Amino acid sequence: MERTLPAPARTSGEQRLLDSFAAIPPTERVRLAKRTSNLFRERTSTRTRGLDTTGLTGVRVVDVGRQTAEVDGMCTYEDLVAATLPHGLMPLVVPQLRTITLGGAVTGLGIESSSFRNGLPHESVLEMDILTGSGEIVTATPDNEHADLFRGFPNSYGSLGYATRLRIELEPVQRHVALRHVRFHDLDALCAVIADVVATREHEGERVDFVDGVVFSADEAYLTLARHSDDDGPTSDYTGQQVYYRSIQHDEPQPKRDLLTTLDYLWRWDTDWFWCSRAFGAQNPRVRRLWPKRWRRSSAYWKLVALDQRTHFSDRMEARKGNPPRERVVQDVEIPLEHTAEFLHWFLDTVPIEPIWLCPLRLRGERTWDLYPLRPDETYVNIGFWSSVPGGERGATNRAIERRVDELAGHKSLYSESFYSREQFDALYGGDTYAVLKATHDPDGRFPHLYDKAVRHA
């Protein structure tokens, strides 16, 4: 029997969550009742009542002295950053999109340009309260009786439970972030600079606090090397007519420099959903002037994608041209740095998608995580590509990517479509350990199995 939180420690939001869990018949699977999502997996339709999370969306405490925050599991990073920045603090890793929740980033993995020094969001979690499949809330820390759940929660995608409260580390920020966009004509040279920056945390004598990059082609790629700054000067604004990723491009031999407020830096990718807003015409200057500013954000574009999935509008347009439906290729993969250039050359030669996002990462220490077994002391590069390709055999391009990632000792995030066999999946995502965790913390199978969620659209 799992230890529950003492009743006085529960908030009203947690009690509503528990009550909604108890109201779901034992024969039905348990899900969140969410109106938005940042996942790109299809899901089998269901009329199952969802869990009530309406009281679990806030920031409980920002402890400035200890540089920590206690946060509800369904709090978005937009709201979390709004609470911490006035104190000169930010989470150690802030995923790129405003409506990603803290609980979602921990159970589903998140990444950003501070990940080369701060790892992934779950690595800055000090403790968390989790609703398990037994209908109880337990507190998991690295060294208490629920340490197994603490280690296994990342990458479990709600198949072991849902976080209701998390206590996380914060770090100091300054008013601005100063950026250098460095151009490369050779992907091997780009990877060599990543290795040097990760090792030294500087480049050409200047400190580096953030690193990410964009590949437009094999001979046009950029690293953006950025640092916290209190420098004065005009700051750029990419929430209006200018598009951030286009500002990176240049032909000069010297780096192109830019200055953003810290808030605008954290959300620099959200306004245009990286570059994906171009699919809706939002980067056309004439359309952009008419596009309401409040709708220039990832959550609005995601709703358009969801509408298209429900109505199959794009598929019908392809059918009118005599084409099969296009294959959606929306993925993030982690490739060891030593194989990154090789993967990029293969991808550019094989998959007609550009640009491609790069983000180096390393685990913060020696602790490993059961369901996403990255190696300590290894530098990986997250490679993100989000578009579609001409249709053919179902999942052909995604399957080819999975094979190539496996050949290069990489890993693939599970927020989008996957095509692995059960044996492959268990080998890649800690299947033996997961089976023990599932039996311990969800013995009656109230939550869908991770394989069923990631591959079978459960």
Query: What are the start-end ranges of the E strands in 68-108?
Result: 68-72, 89-91
Is residue 122 within 8 A of residue 169, CB to CB? The reply is: no
State residue 30 phi and psi, 5-degree precision. Answer: -100, 135
State residue 202 phi and psi, 5-degree precision. Answer: -155, 165
SS3 for 351-401, per residue? CCCCCEEEEEECCCCCCCCCCCCCCCCCCEEEEEEEEEECCCCCCHHHHHH
Whole-number pLDDT of residue 156: 96
Whether the per-residue pLDDT at 2 is higher than 80: the answer is no
285, 300, 412 from 332: Cα distances, Å:
29, 21, 6
Q: 224-245 as b/e, with b when 16 or more CB fall inside 10 Å? A: bbbbbbeeeeeebebbeeebbb
Whole-number pLDDT of residue 346: 98
Q: How many residues does the chain have?
A: 458
For all residues of the chain together, what is the average pLDDT?
Answer: 92
Encode pLDDT of 428-452 as tens digits.
999 999 999 999 999 999 999 999 9
Is residue 351 within 8 A of residue 397, CB to CB? The reply is: yes
- Name every residue whose Cβ is closer than 8 Å to that of residue 135 and which is 6 or more positions away in sequence: 18, 21, 22, 446
Whose tokens are 């245009």? That residue is 272
> How far apart are the C-alpha atoms of 122 and 107, rounded to whole Å?
8
Encode pLDDT of 136-171 as tens digits.
999 999 999 999 999 999 999 999 999 999 999 999
Is residue 116 within 8 A of residue 361, CB to CB? The reply is: yes
For residue 426, give both structure tokens: 């268990």
Whether the per-residue pLDDT at 6 is higher than 80: the answer is no
| Average pLDDT over every residue of 281-298 | 93
The CATH class of the 7-173+432-454 domain is: alpha beta
Whether the per-residue pLDDT at 222 is higher than 90: the answer is yes
Output the CA torsion sign for 134, 136, 137, 138: negative
Whole-number pLDDT of residue 47: 57
Query: What pLDDT band is residue 32 in, cutting at 50, 70 and 90?
Result: confident
Encode pLDDT of 226-260 as tens digits.
999 998 899 999 999 999 999 999 998 899 999 99
For residue 338, give both structure tokens: 């030593």
Give the range among 36-40, 82-86, 230-234, 405-409 with minimum mean pLDDT. 36-40
User: What are the domain boundaries of the chain?
Assistant: 7-173+432-454, 176-268
Nearest Cα neighbor of 411 from 394, 422, 424, 421 is 424
Top mean pLDDT of 132-136, 210-214, 292-296, 389-393 is at 210-214
Whole-number pLDDT of residue 43: 58
Regarding pTM above 0.85, the answer is yes
Q: CA-based diameter of the chain, in Å?
A: 65
Encode pLDDT of 397-437 as tens digits.
999 999 999 999 999 999 999 999 999 999 999 999 999 99
Output the CA torsion sign for 422, 424, 427, 429: negative
22, 111, 219, 251, 398 from 386: Cα distances, Å:
39, 16, 20, 26, 12
Query: What are the start-end ranges of the E strands in 135-219?
Result: 137-140, 162-172, 176-184, 202-203, 206-207, 210-217
